[in-house]
Each structure stands twice: as structure tokens, then as C-alpha cells.
């Protein structure tokens, strides 16, 4: 913790990423950060486990109970941490929404409760991987392209990286325009009228197939 405070202090209101190999102590560092936020600053922590192993989530839960960060029984209101998990055995849709669920919880404690909140997402690789798995689960190229465009937009919205991904979105749209004729045929059956402009077609297709994916 002293090394982190000296070389990479965490700015209030900012974002930071921790990258390392397996077994070097990331979970220990997370626990120390949660303990410091709770005991030194009286803040609240939210941990979103995306694609975590069941054992890892259970171990983290037990460690937080032992350290007093999470309280059970009649003292639940005194807990200073919320856990939300989409484990690796869960469906793709559940894992894809864990990050947003954790973000919603953090915003609630910040806005409604007026607390300083430290949000952890472990890990971002699994968060991006589940998006590619959703795309690969689709059977046709055209639907996959639409879902790919939608996923990049969703990921950029989550991190507010719209400018960074702008060129990537344009590239995906360019590939979709190459199959414009097929998109017209696909949408004519749905709209039964004059074919809308390409961007509206892509938007409606994305919404349609996202609903199918969720249901």
C-alpha cells in the first residue's frame, strides 16, 4: 500500500487499472484498499466480479466478513461493501451486465447516500471477452456485425471512451455498408415500407437482436 501511495496515488473521481499476472496479490491489494477506504475515510466500496471463479468470490466474501467490512445478521446496515458477481458458469447475458450493475450500485451510494465510493471491476479482460463471446454465439455474419457495432458502443459508453473508439466504430460501419443490399432485404420484411437510412437500420437491428439475446 505504501508503494501504491508513493508511486501511483489514486485520484479521487478518477479511473485506474491494475495489471499483473496470476498469484501476485491483486486480491490482497483490493482488500487493503477496501479496508483503508472503510476505516480511514468512512467510505463505501462496490466490487463487481465479472467472470470470476466461484471459489474466488466465496473467498473474498469470507475475508470481508472476517475483517468486519461486511456484517451479517442485525448489523447488515453497518456493512461498508457491496458485492455483485457474474460467475464464469453464468450465462453470457448475466456476465455482460455485471459491470453496469456494479456501476449502478456505486452511483446509488454516491448520489442517494452521499458517500465516497470505490468501485472495483475484476476483471476488465473478462468484461470485454464476454462481448466477443456474444458476437461469436450468433450464427450469421450480418447479425454478428450489428452486434459487434452495438457492443463497441456499449463498451465505450461504460467507460466514456467515445472519442477513442470513434475510428473503430466507423470501420465497423464501413464493413456493414459493404453488405447494404443484404441489409435492405433483411429489413424490408420488418418495416414493410420505404427502407430507412443505413444508420436507422443498424440501430433497429441492434435493438431487435439484443432483445432476442436477452430473452
Q: Strand 117-122 to strand 81-86: parallel, antiparallel, or no bridges (unpaired)?
A: unpaired
Please give the backbone phi and psi of residue 154, each rounded to the nearest 5 degrees, phi first: -65, -45
Q: Of 39, 53, 62, 166, which residue is the catalytic one?
A: 53
d(CA 113, CA 109): 5
53 is catalytic: yes
Q: Strand 117-122 to strand 44-50: parallel, antiparallel, or no bridges (unpaired)?
A: parallel
Tell me the CA end-to-end span of the chain in Å, nearest whole number: 44
Please give the backbone phi and psi of residue 43, each rounded to the nearest 5 degrees, phi first: -90, -175
Q: Of 12, 15, 39, 52, which residue is the catalytic one?
A: 52
107 is catalytic: no
Q: Of 12, 15, 26, 136, which residue is the catalytic one?
A: 26
Supply the residues annotated as catalytic: 26, 52-53
Amino acid at each position: 500500500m505504501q508503494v501504491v501511495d508513493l508511486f501511483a496515488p489514486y485520484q479521487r473521481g478518477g479511473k485506474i487499472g491494475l495489471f499483473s499476472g496470476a498469484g501476485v496479490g491483486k486480491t490482497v491489494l483490493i482488500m487493503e484498499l477496501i479496508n483503508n477506504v472503510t476505516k480511514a475515510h468512512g467510505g463505501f466500496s462496490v466490487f463487481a466480479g465479472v467472470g470470476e471463479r466461484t471459489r474466488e468470490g466465496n473467498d473474498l466474501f469470507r475475508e470481508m466478513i472476517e475483517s468486519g467490512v461486511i456484517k451479517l445478521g442485525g448489523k447488515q446496515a453497518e456493512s461498508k461493501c457491496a458485492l455483485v458477481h457474474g460467475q464464469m458458469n453464468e450465462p453470457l447475458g448475466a456476465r455482460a451486465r455485471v459491470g453496469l450493475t456494479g456501476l449502478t450500485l456505486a452511483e446509488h451510494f454516491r448520489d442517494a447516500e452521499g458517500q465516497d465510493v470505490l468501485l472495483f471491476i475484476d476483471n476488465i479482460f473478462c468484461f470485454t471477452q464476454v462481448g466477443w463471446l456474444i458476437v461469436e454465439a450468433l450464427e450469421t455474419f450480418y447479425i454478428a456485425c450489428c452486434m459487434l457495432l452495438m457492443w463497441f458502443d456499449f463498451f465505450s459508453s461504460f467507460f466514456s471512451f467515445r472519442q477513442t473508439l470513434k475510428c473503430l466504430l466507423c470501420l465497423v460501419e464501413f464493413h456493414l455498408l459493404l453488405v447494404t443490399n443484404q441489409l435492405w432485404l433483411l429489413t424490408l420484411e420488418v418495416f414493410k415500407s420505404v427502407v430507412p437510412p443505413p444508420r436507422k437500420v443498424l440501430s433497429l437491428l441492434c435493438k431487435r437482436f439484443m432483445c432476442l439475446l436477452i430473452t
